[in-house]
Structure 1
Amino acid sequence: MFGPSLEGPTSVRVYAELARRAWQRQRAYGNANLAGLFTNSFFGYIRVVPLIAAFASRPEISGYDRDAAITWNWLVQSLITIVALWGWWEVALTIRSGEVAIDLARPIHYLGYWLARDVGRAAYSTVYRFIPILIVGQLVSGLRWPEAPWLTWPAFLCSLILALFTSFAWRFLLNLGAFWLTDYRAIASLGLVATTFLSGFLVPLAFFPPAIRSILEVLPFAAIIQTPATVFLERAEGLDLALLLAEQLGWAIVMLGVAHWGAQVAMRRVTVQGG
């Protein structure tokens, strides 16, 4: 279905090269990335003001104190570009232009090809968005850093990688809709609404009523934003932390499996739109 596949060390080198080139591609848009960094930092500041006001009259809201809520705010701002929270439509664009035929002819797995590119993009965002935004947050309002860094930072790194995989699979599935639809903007809107409202980006999921929260916490969208934030803030420890990461791993595996299945279905019904 995807053409002859490379195997062994050669395949690993190819994926690594794809990730490296994706990193280089992001570097070519230095001014745009600086503008994005400024925008994320600005909105981080705008959002932190009402949070400070909300905690002026109460010490805690749904288990979050003032410092935890402020840290959550800057953290989710720093994660936006890593997980491409508001969309990524490169696959859909290649389907519309007809370039997908070239991608399918490559001697590499179609899903793996795009995943490697997304890893490179996310790695760039980690260095040039995630870290700078946290620095801005520390300077502007202060952050709550992990009290057990030897445990929390490795756990957070694992959670961040799993969040990326889950997010990628979701975005890839949305992109596959372009095989059947001439205009993918409706799908883009669906994805935007789902990730914005269900992931813990607007407010921590703990702020929702218990009945709604219990549903949102078991959906894959929570694995994209809320779970990494929970790990960073050390709101889960010991067995709870292990179970949280296991659940996130489960969603990453399930979503990537569904994405692979979706690609197989799409390949059986290939219709190149456009050129």
Structure 2
Amino acid sequence: MRAYRAHARASALSALAYRGNFLLSLGGVAFQLVALLAVWKVLLGGGERVGGFDWPHMRAYLLVAFASGALVGTFVDFRMSFRIRSGLVALDLVKPVDYQRARFWEVVGGVWIELLVVALVVGVSFAVSGPPDLPPGPELALFATSMLLLVPLKFAVVYLSTLTCFWTENFVGVMWARQAITNLLSGALVPLVYFPGWLATAAQWSPFAGLTSTPALIFVGQAAGRQAVLLVAVQLAWVVVLWFAARALFRRALRQLTVHGG
């Protein structure tokens, strides 16, 4: 366990050392929040209620979407992809730690810094527009659980996509594709209730819903009681499935690894 905590500390220190890149990546998510708030303010600011959302609910939904988007940023996957493509991953493989767990603890090391940025942005939003209404105690606990599960779930999605670097020459296209699919099917851009029925159902049962839609719906009260418990259970199930799927894909990826040294 000490070795994994060392990976977490190293990741946090690296994020602080390259804080310009780190803050720029989070700044992009914050800009998306401002843009979406402006758009939905125009659409719902007159008191309209569409798809079960009025402006206060949509504002709270978008704040949760921002928080979920800011956590587990792109810093770790770029480092991982570079080491795979350059062959430096061979040095990671000879270390007496599990490769996947080490990468997860690197993500955990950066999460606390991301949480500080999230707290700052959300605090500014509260100061300007006031805090949203909090859900009742049981739903608030489920929301906290969902946000906690979001970290390993998002890591699994990012980790799986980054493993494709064992087969590809470039990671940027893979990252763009992942971000496009994730932003759409997670409900980060548009709540899933606005999707066509078949697509909304498919997205809600996919792992992507747990990245934004599940915690956001619980927070704004669109999912409560048994429905909220079911959504969190689905989120947990996908964490387990994707974690072990990633381990299977990693074993297959190692067959592709060829490192030339001199």
TM-score (norm 2): 0.89
Do the aligned residues in 2 keep the contact of 1:85 with 1:196 (CA within 8 Å)? no
| Correspondence 1:61-100 to 2 at 5 A | 61-84=50-73, 88-100=77-89
**Counterpart selection for 1:226 from 209, 213, 227:** 213
Deviates more, 1:210-219 or 1:79-88: 79-88
What letter matches 2:135 in structure 1?
E
Structure 1 residues 139, 45: closer, same or farther in 2, change over 3 A? farther
Query: For structure 2, which runs of at least 5 residues remain unmatched after alignment?
Result: none
Would you say 1:209 and 2:196 are equivalent positions? yes
Q: Give the structure 2 partner of residue 5 of structure 1.
A: none
Structure 1 residues 118, 100: closer, same or farther in 2, change over 3 A? same
Query: Taking every aligned residue pair, what percent have the same amino acid on both sides?
Result: 27
Q: Give the structure 2 partner of residue 117 of structure 1.
A: 106
Structure 1 residues 85, 218: closer, same or farther in 2, change over 3 A? farther
Do the aligned residues in 1 keep the contact of 2:12 with 2:110 (CA within 8 Å)? yes
Q: Deviations over 1:183-215 (max 9, x none)?
A: 233322221221121111111111212222111
| Correspondence 1:106-255 to 2 at 5 A | 106-126=95-115, 128-148=116-136, 150-255=137-242
Cα shift at 1:232: 2.1
Query: For structure 1, which runs of at least 5 residues remain unmatched after alignment?
Result: 1-11
**Counterpart selection for 2:9 from 14, 17, 20:** 20
Do the aligned residues in 2 keep the contact of 1:22 with 1:120 (CA within 8 Å)? yes
Q: Deviations over 1:60-108 (max 9, x none)?
A: 1111121010111222123222033799322211011111001000111
Q: 1:105, 1:44 → 2: CA distance?
A: 42
Cα shift at 1:162: 1.6
Deviates more, 1:12-21 or 1:63-72: 12-21
Deviates more, 1:70-79 or 1:38-47: 38-47
Between Structure 1 and Structure 2, the one with more helix by share is 2
Q: Give the structure 2 partner of residue 4 of structure 1.
A: none
Q: Give the structure 2 partner of residue 265 of structure 1.
A: 252
Q: 1:87, 1:103 → 2: CA distance?
A: 14
Root-mean-square deviation (Å): 2.4
